Structure 1
Amino acid sequence: MTETLAKSHQAGRWRAVAVLVFGASVIGFSPILVRLTQTGPSAAGFWRLAFALPLMGIVAQRVGGQIGRPSRLGLIAGVMFALDLGFWHYGIKYTSVANATVLPNLTPVVVTAFAWMFLKERPRPLFLVALAVAISGATLMASQRAGAPGINPPLGDALSAATAFWYALYMLAISAGRKRETASVLMFWSSAAGAPLVLAAALALGESILPRDAWGWAACIGLGVTHVLGQGSIAWAMGRLPTATASVVVLVQPVVAALLGWLLFREALGPLQAIGAAVALAGVILAQGASRAKT
């Protein structure tokens, strides 16, 4: 009986890992779509959440029957995600592409530290090694990307580093919220809370709010779909995996984004980038082995 339960637990865990990898891979499309929206950075974040809301509402009603009232953790997750979108998009504007890609990859470090201190999820030594391997691979990938120094590197670097902090808090809020409510309801209210914040930021900063043509609108709708499929899958999986483990698996995202940039925009993918992608994925696989629950 114990062996059967252990096998069932292990099968469910790997199913959650597969869903998490799928979600992170879908989110890898986001930078491509943001580039095609023809709007400002924060405005693109608004359309992403605005178009996701109706889809999230439909899913939430079909899964749970009713949406109910927003929870405190759902609202906190929405605020953190709005800050994540705004800081990251403007980090790209002000600093080099390499720095704006490397610094947000500090998210697993922040998540692991917070999960260790506040959620009592103590990482194993092998997991810390896997974390270092995954971040090293992601850093190697980003260091080989071409890009100008940026118009204000110190500000851009600070915004990009803060992105890791906001996304870490978002993941921790989602992880805690998943212990009390479904992923669809949590994602609906986090999106509803985040949308007006990024819209207010876009208006305050004088951004272009509306796309210029049908292709821009299609990209905005695509962002909404990727948010539902990507962040929704991540939220679902985080209810079944340790928070620190999930944060490392999400490092699949920059690998997917780099490959899409190479395929769609002919952005060079050098040999060191390819090695970095392989190292990052190796770290993700090692993290899964290190974080397996004891049977």
Structure 2
Amino acid sequence: MSASRYAFPALLLGAACIGFAGIFVRVSEVGPAATGFWRMALALPFLWLLSARTSPAVRPGQSRLGASLLLGAFFAADLAVWHHSLHITTVANATLLANCVPVFFVPLLGWLIWRDKIERAFVPSFLITLLGVALLTGENVTLSPERFRGDLLATVAAAFYCAYLLLMKSVRREVDVARLMAVSGVGAAVVLLAVALMSGEKLVPASLHGWATLAGLAIVTQVLGQTLIAYGLGHLPAHLSALCLMFQPIVSALAAWALFGEQISPLQFAGAAVIVAGVWMAKRH
């Protein structure tokens, strides 16, 4: 099986892994940016070990090194802002906004930048997937003045994530995925630590449970999730990649149901099934 044939399942699995991010952030014992810092810092030893084992001879040039560090800065901005939004608005609002904005803009920009061809047959699958997202999250999405700031922050985070995905696709054409995640991880960790210090956040967990939460966040969402997404982005068109990320709200909803007992209605289960159908249709075309 060629490497490109692994890309689609890798992207879906990566999206499923980052679906747990909101759960970990909500139960973290440290501040939002500090949580992001530990996510990167605890992941870096694994990422550099993976880089050393899989691409010992690969060294990005000066321009690619700068792009890799910039990639980390975009990701740090996304994490810092999105983590803050999770403490102001609902997980459903933050997840919906953070995922739907890239789905709209990444395919358009992918076509403008790389001329990724968007087949007419992709449009129905795109609309079906968005319908599924609306059914899955609609009952939990609330609009209120108290949550407006959190919703706005989630939208800003989504813009940073768009930039991250597009730059990732560009840099992945020239830099090995393991080396890219390791180098960009250093940039992200530095930025997030600076934000946490300037914000006066609590930096160190007070319990073993707090450290376990951060370790889980690092391994599940960063080492596994983002690395798999980076691998998939290197082989798939931008519009299909963005649509695959819609698996994140499914996992977030199911995880909240399994871990916290949050109710999921039959309509929401139907929405999850519709998302799966939409992504499957997109892959077929």
Q: Percent identity?
A: 34
Closer, same or farther: CA 148–111 of 1 in aligned 2, 3 Å: closer
SS of equivalent residue, structure 2 residue 268: helix
Q: Deviations over 1:40-72 (max 9, x none)?
A: 111111100001111110010111115645623
Structure 1 segments unaligned to the other structure (5+ residues)? 1-7, 291-295
What is the distance in 1 between the residues matched to 2:142 and 2:197?
Answer: 28
Q: 2:43 aligns with which of 44, 52, 59?
A: 52
Closer, same or farther: CA 223–66 of 1 in aligned 2, 3 Å: farther
* C-alpha contact (below 8 Å) 2:96/2:249 kept by paired residues: no
Q: How does 1:197-208 map to 2 (within 5 A)?
A: 197-208=191-202
- Residue 146 of structure 1: CA displacement? 6.9
What is the distance in 2 between the residues matched to 1:164 and 1:211?
Answer: 28
- Residue 27 of structure 1: CA displacement? 1.5
Q: 1:159 aligns with which of 131, 153, 156?
A: 153
TM-score by length of 2: 0.91
Q: Deviations over 1:241-279 (max 9, x none)?
A: 112211111111110111111111111111221111111
* C-alpha contact (below 8 Å) 1:138/1:254 kept by paired residues: yes
1:90 partnered with 2:97: no
2:102: which partner in 1?
A: 107
1:36 partnered with 2:27: yes
- Residue 176 of structure 1: CA displacement? 0.9
What is the distance in 2 between the residues matched to 1:147 and 1:108?
Answer: 21
- Larger displacement relative to structure 2 (175-184 or 102-111): 102-111
Q: How does 1:170-181 map to 2 (within 5 A)?
A: 170-181=164-175
2:72: which partner in 1?
A: 78
SS of equivalent residue, structure 2 residue 79: helix
What is the distance in 2 between the residues matched to 1:58 and 1:88?
Answer: 28
Number of aligned residues: 280
Higher relative contact order, chain-length normalized (CA < 8 Å, sep 6+): 2
Closer, same or farther: CA 78–148 of 1 in aligned 2, 3 Å: same
Q: 2:122 aligns with which of 99, 120, 127?
A: 127
* C-alpha contact (below 8 Å) 1:93/1:150 kept by paired residues: no
* C-alpha contact (below 8 Å) 2:131/2:274 kept by paired residues: yes
- Residue 120 of structure 1: CA displacement? 1.0
Q: Deviations over 1:60-107 (max 9, x none)?
A: 011111564562321221111111111211222223443222211221
Q: Deviations over 1:2-41 (max 9, x none)?
A: xxxxxx6xx6544211111111112122222223321111
1:285: which partner in 2?
A: 280
1:244: which partner in 2?
A: 239
1:271: which partner in 2?
A: 266
* C-alpha contact (below 8 Å) 1:104/1:163 kept by paired residues: yes
**2:202 is aligned with what amino acid?**
S
- Larger displacement relative to structure 2 (93-102 or 193-202): 93-102
- Larger displacement relative to structure 2 (67-76 or 237-246): 67-76
TM-score by length of 1: 0.88
After the TM superposition, which segments of 4 or more aligned residues of structure 1 sit over 6 Å from their partners?
none
* C-alpha contact (below 8 Å) 1:96/1:149 kept by paired residues: no
- Larger displacement relative to structure 2 (185-194 or 21-30): 21-30
Closer, same or farther: CA 192–150 of 1 in aligned 2, 3 Å: farther
Q: Deviations over 1:154-178 (max 9, x none)?
A: 3222211122211111111111111
1:144: which partner in 2?
A: 139
- Larger displacement relative to structure 2 (37-46 or 60-69): 60-69
Over the aligned positions, Cα root-mean-square deviation in angstroms equals 1.9
1:62 partnered with 2:53: yes
Closer, same or farther: CA 161–148 of 1 in aligned 2, 3 Å: closer
* C-alpha contact (below 8 Å) 1:16/1:240 kept by paired residues: yes
What is the distance in 1 between the residues matched to 2:16 and 2:256?
Answer: 13
1:191 partnered with 2:191: no
* C-alpha contact (below 8 Å) 1:36/1:215 kept by paired residues: no
- Residue 147 of structure 1: CA displacement? 6.7
* C-alpha contact (below 8 Å) 1:39/1:209 kept by paired residues: yes
* C-alpha contact (below 8 Å) 1:52/1:225 kept by paired residues: yes
